[in-house]
Amino acid sequence: MRIEILGTRGHIEVSAPGHELHSGVLMDDVLFDLGERHYLDRSPRAVFITHFHEDHAFFLNEDVDIGVPVYAPERLAGHKVKVIRSTVEVDGMSVTPVPTNHSEKVRSCGYLVEKDMQRVLYTGDLLSIQRRYRDRLPDLDLVITEGSFIRRGGLVRRDPETGRPHGHTGIPDLVSFFSPIARRVVITHLGSWFFHDIPAAVQKIESLGLEGQVIVAEDGTVLELGSDI
């Protein structure tokens, strides 16, 4: 499976060369998240959206015909979106939704992608994975997850009425969670903290795992599963 990380910038104003574009991951001919309109120029066979925030779905406030099937955790008024509740087969791969916790207002999910005995998890923005779905995750070849906050614990808020948490967990927590069950962990969707000193930030993130286990993506990073990534 060929994986290209199209964009690595979180929902922030600051950017830098190599980290200018919003979320999008192309796995062979299937696109996960659509943070930039021009990602459609890659002619994906289908699009899977993790959640309806603009940096993951540029078309929220536009009348756009995507032209291919679009799957997401919930419907979107005015758009042709298929709600994904079970595994979808597309382009020779199986895509299974993994419900996640992130936003107070919109539903979210990650996607477990399986093809040719390879298993990849893409989470989008993440506070936590619902416990009853965690048993699907061991023996992953690759995890692609977010880097909004470097501090342990990330940024978590609670709904004053329900007490339900929402937000982002920290990169150290993500690495601790995923490193025992995945060969590689790729960090994308980088927060504003990352841009203060990018070389130091990369070093700090990659030091959280064993040598070569944790990778910081740039816009256009390509990974070939089955090779030594």
Residue 162 burial by CB count (10 A; 0-12/13-18/19+): exposed, middle or buried?
exposed
Residue 18 burial by CB count (10 A; 0-12/13-18/19+): exposed, middle or buried?
middle
**% the chain with pLDDT above 70:** 99
Enumerate domains of the chain plus CATH numbers. 2-224 (3.60.15.10)
* Predicted confidence (pLDDT) per residue in 72-128, tens digit: 999 998 899 999 999 999 989 999 999 999 998 999 999 999 999 999 999 999 999
CB 219 within 8 A of CB 8: yes
Q: Tokens standing for 84?
A: 């994904």
pLDDT at 64: 87
Whole-model pTM?
0.95
In 10 A of CB 27, how many CB atoms? 26
pLDDT at 28: 97
Dihedral sign from CA coordinates of 123, 108, 66, 22: negative
* Predicted confidence (pLDDT) per residue in 52-63, tens digit: 999 999 999 888
* pLDDT(132) > 60: yes
pLDDT category of residue 203 using cuts at 50, 70 and 90? very high
The residue ranking higher by pLDDT, 224 or 133, is 224
Dihedral sign from CA coordinates of 133, 151, 10, 29: negative
CB 18 within 8 A of CB 195: no
What does the radius of gyration of the chain's CA atoms come to, in whole angstroms?
A: 16
* The CA-based dihedral angle spanning residues 179, 3, 30, 13, taken in that order and rounded to the nearest 10 degrees: 80
pLDDT at 227: 60
The closest of 95, 182, 98, 188 to 141, measured between CA atoms, is: 182
**% the chain with pLDDT above 90:** 85
| Rounded distance between C-alpha atoms, residue 171 and residue 86, angstroms | 28
